[in-house]
A and B are shown apart, each in its own frame.
Chain A
Amino acid sequence: MKWLELLTVAGATLIAAATVVTLYSLGVRLTAIAADAEQPSPGTKRSLAYLCFGLCGLAVLFGLYLIIPYFSK
């Protein structure tokens, strides 16, 4: 049967979605903190937020890279 493949799909879905959501949420949170008043180092927080967004984008691109058969040949 295909239980193993089904499990693979479930696992891959969970890992991919959780990674993207976690990174993006951290980015959103850091942006929010950076925008706060009386914040000691908004610049650092903001750049960290952008780092999170960037990593999130990279994760998506890496996922696509794994899927597209053109690259794995």
Chain B
Amino acid sequence: MVALVIALALFFDFTNGFHDTANAMATPIATGAIKPKTAVTLAALLNLVGAFLSTEVAKTVSGGIIREGADGVQITPEIIFAGLMGAILWNMITWLKGLPSSSSHALFGGLIGAAIAGIGFGSVNLETLLQKVILPAVFAPLIAGLVAYVCTRLAYALTSRHDPETGSKLTQKRGGFRTGQIFTSSLVALAHGTNDAQKTMGIITLVLIAAGTQAPGTGPQFWVIAACAFAIAIGTYSGGWRIIRTMGSGLTEVKPAQGFAAETSTASAILASSHLGFALSTTQVASGSVIGSGMGRRGTTVRWSMVGRIALGWLFTLPAAGIVGALTALLVNTGVVGILIAAIAGTGAVLFMFFYSRKSAVGHHNAVEVEEAGQAVRFAKKKARAKARADARAKASAEAKAKADTKAQPKPRAETDAAAQSDADATTPKETQR
């Protein structure tokens, strides 16, 4: 059973890798900064290195969310098996449907659902869950977006060239940012390794603790780190080919300078929060950055209807994976036959989805997360520019205000979110009229 769970966890790591190659490498491939083959190899290598760098997030996952050890409840490998099943299935479904979603939240959702169904509500440490998963999920994209906005402004301000006498625009010569993207996207890949590979390490450590082969409260063992690092690197490498084959025009509207700013903020946001042990979603941070950098460039507007769709996908991930995890946990609790049924059904579903994706048209591919975030940013017509600028300013101040509100007390967050949602809905008809 332990071996089965470890294999399943490594497979989850693999899916995570190919789900997220796009986050780091879609922009430089689209702007032509790196050749596709070099890009995925680079991403895979840096994921490998990143996985070895820090284990803070692994400790968050393995210790805290589900109460383990003598004073808490006893979690079994079966529960973790069910949770992983939920995470993998949801990951595959969203990948197939092209819904942007976070692998990390799928993982947490599956585990929480399985724990609730298998043990009861008392098994989940709600406070830790709120502090280490939900709060970062809300704030990470906001922080990354805000920083990306500031950085894009900065980059454009510093490199805008005017003739000192006539005041007319000179050739801007921002080609240097394309080269810079090679480095920043490498940093994002590295950051992805430090954050996402950790989650699987945490799971395997959790299994080992649950099986009694490792003391509670200790960090991941070396062979676990190595196995996870290689699983995510292989996933990144193989996933890249699918993206490149189908990589369309979604990101061409993002200019190198914007991409540079967005990637820098993504990498620093992920690295900073990895360092403090927040398990946040690389996908969400990357999308937040792309949107933020879109607002930072003059004459660009953000498609809020698309942003709303992405946000909706994020909202659904946790409960949906939780439901699948809970169902699997109920099945597994019936005994060995139940485990067998769950394993066979899960493998069958994954295989079916894989072959189905082979048949279906281009577009059902894993590049969709970043691509949709790229589509959400669009170059506006001249008339709309003034409006876009005003919007961007209003949005930035609204964000700052919302943050200040939430700092005072956590409750009003939901209200501001709802307001933002209705705002997004309100702008949709205008979008279609144009």
Contacts and interface: CB of A to CB of B under 8 A. Distances in A.
Interface of A: 1-3, 5-6, 8-10, 12-14, 16-18, 20-22, 24-29, 31-32, 35, 57, 60, 63-64, 66-70
6 contacts: A2-B131, A8-B272, A10-B143, A17-B151, A17-B268, A22-B154
Nearest to B269: A13
A29 B154 contact: no
Given A24-B260, A63-B268, 13 more contacts: A2-B132, A8-B276, A10-B139, A13-B265, A16-B264, A17-B150, A21-B261, A25-B257, A29-B158, A29-B159, A32-B173, A66-B275, A68-B53
Contacts, number: 115
A25 B147 CA distance: 16
Nearest to B148: A17
A57 B407 CA distance: 35
B155 A25 contact: yes
Interface residues of B, number: 48
A32 to B, nearest CB: 4
A16 B272 contact: yes
Given A1-B131, A18-B151, A68-B54, A13 B276 contact: no
Contacts of A28: 158-159, 173-174, 176-177, 180
A45 B416 CA distance: 49
A1 to B, nearest CB: 7
Interface of A is mostly: helix
Nearest to B177: A28
Most interface-central of B132, B154, B268 (chain A CB within 10 A): B268
B201 interface: no
A1 B131 CA distance: 7
A9 B273 contact: yes
Nearest to A27: B176
B187 interface: yes
Contacts of B159: 25, 28-29, 32
Contacts of A16: 264, 268, 271-272
Contact of B271 (A27, A31, A67): A67
Given A6-B135, A10-B143, A25 B158 contact: yes
Contacts of B264: 16-17, 20-21
Contacts of B187: 60
Nearest to A12: B272
Nearest to B187: A60
Given A6-B135, A16-B268, A29 B147 contact: no
Most interface-central of B53, B154, B271 (chain A CB within 10 A): B271
A13 B272 contact: yes
Contact of A35 (B173, B268, B271): B173
Contacts of A17: 147-148, 150-151, 261, 264-265, 268-269
Contacts of A10: 139, 143, 146-147
Contacts of A18: 147, 150-151, 154
